[in-house]
Amino acid sequence: MKIIKTPHGELKTPFFMPIATQGAVKTLSSFDVERLGSPILLANTYHLYLRPGREVMAQFGGLHNFMSWRGALLTDSGGYQVFSLAKMRKLSEEGVEFSSHIDGSRHLLTPEKSIHIQQNLGSDIVMVLDECTPPGMSPDELKVSVERTTRWAKRCKTAFEQGKAASNNPGAQLFGIVQGGIDVELRKKHAEDLMKIGFDGYAIGGLSVGESFADALRVVEALDKVLPPDQPRYFMGGGQPHEIVEYVKRGIDIFDCVLPTRNARHGTLYGFAHDDLSRPDFYETVHITNEKWKNDQSALMEARPGDLIAQELSRYSFAYLRHLFVSNEILGQRLATLMNLHFYLELMARLRA
C-alpha cells in the first residue's frame, strides 16, 4: 500500500475515483459522495474550462469551493476530450486547436494552458497534456506522437513549477502519462523518458480505447518492471471489476471509470457474488427493469453500523427501484448510482485489506 499525501487528505492505495467531469458526480451531491467515503474525485479540465470558465473558478478560489468538496481532486488534462469530443481539431507542436462542442468557438489548448487551467481549478493531482493515441496507428505515427507527448510533458513540468505561486493549490502534485499503444518497447522507452523529466506519479494512458484486456495486461506487466516502485501508478479509464483486480496485482494504484455511474443510470447494478476476488466471477450484474424484480421485496443493501449509504439503501426494495426506473423517476438513477459506487469503493477497500 502507498499513501499519497495531498492538501485535502491522505489517499491510501489502491483507490477508485468517481467521475465528476463537470464538477459533479451525475445524480449525486458532494455530501452523497462524502457519505460514500470516497476521498477523491476526478474532474475534467476541458469541460470546466469551457463552462463555467476560468473567471468563475478564480472568483471561488478553485473547484473545491465551487462544488463544496472537502476531499482531493484529480483533473484530467483535457487532452482526451479534445481528441474525442472536439470538432475541427488541428494538432501542432504548439498544442491542439479545437472547436468547442458547446458553441463552436475556437480554442488553443497548449501544455502550458492545460497546466494553468488545472492550477486555477486547484487540483490536488494535475495531469500533463498528452496525445491519446487511438488503436490502429502505424508504428511511425505512434513514435511521432509519443515523442511529441514527451516534449509536451517537459513543457508541462516547467509551467507547473512556474505557476505554483499563483495556483489555487500550491501543494499539488504533477503526474506524467505514459503512451505508446500496445507496443511494449515503446511504452518502456516512453516511461524511461518521463522518469528522466521527473514526476510525482505516472499514469498509463491509451489503454481503455479499444484494445484487448490481454494486450492491456501485457503493457501493464512490462511497465511494472520499469516505473518507480515507490511512486503511484494510475491506470486511466479502466475498468471492469475483475480487470481492476488483475491490474492491482501488477502494481496499479489508482483507477477511474465511467462504468459504475453510467451503467447505474441505465439500470445495471453491480454486486458481490462471493468473497473470493481471485476468481473473475466474484461479482454479478443485474438489470433492474427485468420482470423478475417486479415483486422482489429484498432490500437493496443490508444495513451496516456506520455505513450511512448502506443504511439508506436498506430502506428500499428491488421492486421499488424497478418501479422508479420503469416510471422514469430520477430517484432511481440516484439510488442505483449509490449502489454501484458503494460496490466499487468496497472492492477497493477489500483490495487494500
Whether 275 is catalytic: no
Cell matching residue 245 = 483486480
Which among 136, 134, 251, 240 is positioned nearest to 191, based on CA atoms?
A: 251
Catalytic residue among 32, 76, 183, 193: 76
Catalytic residue among 32, 193, 253, 256: 256
CA R_g for the chain: 20
Q: Is the peptide bond before 305 cis (omega within 30 degrees of 0)?
A: no
Whether 256 is catalytic: yes
| Residues designated catalytic | 76, 256
